Amino acid sequence: MGSTSELGDFLRNRRGEVRPQDAGLAAHAPRRRVTGLRREELAMLAGVSVTYYTRLEQGRATSASDSVLAAIARALRLTDDETAHLKDLARPNALRQPPAERPEHASRSARQLLAAMTEVPALVLDRRNDILAWNPLGHALVAGHLDRRGPDQPATRPNLTRLLFLDEHFRTLYTDWNEEAQLAVASLRLTAGRHPDDRRLAELIGQLVIQNREFASRWARHPIRTCTSGVKHFQHPQVGTMELAFENLHIPGDCGQRIIAYSAEPRTPSEAALRLLGSLAAGPAAVTRRGTVPDTAHGTTSDAPVAPRLPR
């Protein structure tokens, strides 16, 4: 996960995606061998010398200024996320402090907050997407087939990205797995660019590249994207289809941890399904003897059948 080779891969990939005619250059087909921009064309568009740009792409120029990187980003039509990634790769010495090698844990206050969120699925994640803690509803939503105590065991704790690509139960949880996979790889690329010296992150990426062809193929395309909020569509094995909004709440400090919480639109089938899942996660005491689930919002009971609990 060396930053110099990553920088070269990223620039070559993005050069290949910009057609000369889209950049205002004449396409010299049919003798043109590449569909994207040549080095000299990109250098001209960015206003730098070909020699300097070549050194940058080869990782031999380590002091690129903000103005030069901004010019290259404009020439390549990079997004804000991609521009930030370019700067991370071009100036690795300006990155944050090296990551701690000791296992991370969710703070006591973060755990208390999760425990208080009784009607909202919530998890604490580190920057690698390791699950450091979850509340009962969060566990039931994303990984009911796993041991609830998993986050408390650093050596084997679950990781959302690893589950997405290597766990068949988790893979079927999302209605649009391809979109989830693309976002997971794109956000992991961004994190890897910011933390090139993170050994455990590099080990995770290496494992996924070796064990999953789909991950390796997506990783090679170098997607870059971050997503702090949005909507996810679930096909949950216990309660069926749910459309849940999510928010990533970053914990202050340099730890890189965040809380991700999910919620359903009020008075929708998704809210009813989430309420049913909460009753199942709470155990038999939350289910009436008639096999119905209390409707806490309206003081009635739902006729929805009680789904079987998944093995753990």
Give tens-digit pLDDT for 233-249: 999 999 999 999 999 99
Average pLDDT over residues 69-91: 91
Greater pLDDT, 92 or 36:
36
* Res 284 pLDDT > 80: no
Band of pLDDT at residue 4, cut at 50, 70 and 90: low
- Statement: 108-284 belongs to CATH 3.90.1150.10: no
115 band by pLDDT with thresholds 50, 70 and 90 = very high
What is the residue-averaged pLDDT of the chain? Answer: 85
Separation of alpha carbons 170 and 147, rounded Å: 14
Model pTM score: 0.78
The pLDDT assigned to 100 comes to: 56
Which pLDDT score is estimated for 307? 43
pLDDT at 158 over 80: yes
Residue 302 confidence (pLDDT) above 70: no
CA angle 152, 103, 164 (to 5 degrees): 65
Specify the pLDDT at position 292: 43
pLDDT of residue 102: 76
Count of CA atoms in the C-beta half-sphere (13 A) of 72: 29
Question: Does residue 297 carry a pLDDT above 60?
Answer: no
Which CA distances in Å does 120 have to 5, 112, 132, 139?
A: 42, 14, 17, 11
Per-residue pLDDT, averaged over 62-74, amounts to 88
Exposure of 96 in the CB half-sphere (CA atoms within 13 A): 12
Q: Is the pLDDT of residue 270 over 80?
A: yes
Give residue-wise pLDDT tens across range 9-66. Answer: 999 998 988 888 887 776 555 566 667 898 999 999 999 999 999 989 887 776 788 8
3-state secondary structure of 121: coil
Residue 263 confidence (pLDDT) above 70: yes
pLDDT of 64 reads 84
Q: pLDDT, tens digit, for every residue of 201-220?
A: 999 999 999 999 999 999 99
Residue 303 has a pLDDT of: 42
Q: What are the boundaries of each domain within the chain?
A: 3-94, 108-284
Region 244-263: what's the mean pLDDT? 92
Beta-sheet strands, E only, within 97-238 = 122-125, 131-134, 229-236
Residue 94 has pLDDT above 70, yes or no: no
From the list 268, 279, 277, the residue with the least C-alpha distance to 245 is 268
Instruction: Give domain 3-94's CATH architecture.
Output: Orthogonal Bundle (1.10)
